[in-house]
Amino acid sequence: MIIKVAVIGAGFMGCNHARVYSELEGCELTGIVDPREAARSNASKFGAPFFSSVAELMAVDRPDAVSVAVPTGKHAEVAGFFLKNGMDVMVEKPIAETAADAVRLVDAAKSTGAVLMVGHIERFNPMVRKIREMLETGSIGRLLSVSTNRLNPSDRLNDSAVLDLMTHDIDVIHYLTGGAMKPLNSSAFFVGGLEKHVTALAQAKGGALCTMNCSLLYPIKRREISLLTENFLVEGNYMTQQLNVYGREGMEAENMRPFVKTEEPLKMELNHFLDCVRQRGDPEVTGEDGARVLDAALAIRGLCSGGTA
């Protein structure tokens, strides 16, 4: 079965979706949609027709499925249109800008039987999947705390550090612990009324203490997670997919050195989405999962206090 798929939004993530779809077997990239004429060259790179609106795309060919990679404030409108018309949707994270919009998207998918998957890409990072395997088998003992750093420079003035960055780590913690966290406190540095550098404290399902740091002001890029368990310290690097395990004495645990097969998370994620489209199965990251992440993120934003510039 060849799945006809379109990408809505030709920014950074949209172009990556288009690239991966153009490389995958079993699907045909039938269009890239973006209202900006400057985005037309992006479509030509992947051999796909370019459309300036969803209406133009639909007038030519109805896709089986779409990736929605438009600005977050447009998620509800764009993803909602396709879901209400029975087309399967992979929407980039966060699922929406408001909790009410997230609920509407989930309800729209249920009403038409469409697949709704949220693009929390780090669930498909082999390093994260290995950590979950280690926790599930009990090989590293009970989880006591999780610390994350997701830091990078950015000149995008309208981005929220919590919605743009911390939602990744909220979802990873939900994935690793099997449930939603309880935000406890947060502090932020604000620029232009938006939080740009944030530290948040939360309690994970099962009781582990979580400290999450994210920043759009950092001069270098970092993507790290550390887990303290009863017996070990586990440190992971999202970018290199490297995982190290240390014993209580501070030495690397030679007998616990995990093997992580490096793979591109986005390719794994979109392959999984296409499998769900074919088999009509539930995705690993459901609309409900995305809504729970958004709930935690909005709670953290609500708790933020701090300085301004």
Is residue 83 over pLDDT 80? yes
Alpha carbons 43 and 55: distance in angstroms, whole number: 17
Distance CA 162, CA 298 (A): 8
pLDDT digits (tens, 9 = 90+) for 205-214: 999 999 999 9
How long, in residues, is the chain?
A: 309
For the chain, list the domains and their CATH numbers: 3-121+267-285 (3.40.50.720), 122-263+295-303 (3.30.360.10)
The model's pLDDT over 112-144, given as tens digits with 9 standing for 90+, comes to 999 999 999 999 999 999 999 999 999 999 999
The per-residue pLDDT for 215 is 97
By the 10 Å C-beta count (0-12 exposed, 13-18 middle, 19+ buried), 288 is classed as middle
Quick check: 235 and 225 in contact, CB under 8 A? Answer: yes
| 217 φ/ψ angles, rounded to the nearest 5 degrees | -115, -5
Residue type, 27: C
pLDDT-based confidence at residue 250 (cuts at 50, 70, 90):
low
Q: What is the mean pLDDT of residues 273-287?
A: 97
Under the banding of pLDDT at 50, 70 and 90, the label for residue 97 is very high
Reading phi first (left if > 0) and then psi (alpha if -120 to 50, else beta), residue 271 is in alpha
pTM: 0.95
Distance of CA 65 to the CA centre of its chain: 19
pLDDT recorded at residue 278: 97
Helix (H, G, I), strand (E, B) or coil at 275: helix
Relative to beta strand 143-153, strand 182-191 is: unpaired
Residues 113 and 73: their CA atoms lie apart, in Å, by: 24
Contacts of 111 (CB under 8 A, 6+ apart): 84
Residue 56: the pLDDT is 96
- Helices 287-303, 99-112: axis angle to 10 degrees equals 170
Enclosing H/E stretch for 232: strand 232-237
Please report, for residues 29, 44, 209, the alpha-carbon distance to residue 166 in angstroms, rounded to integers and kept in the order given. Answer: 31, 33, 16
For residue range 5-28, list pLDDT tens digits in order: 999 999 999 999 999 999 999 999
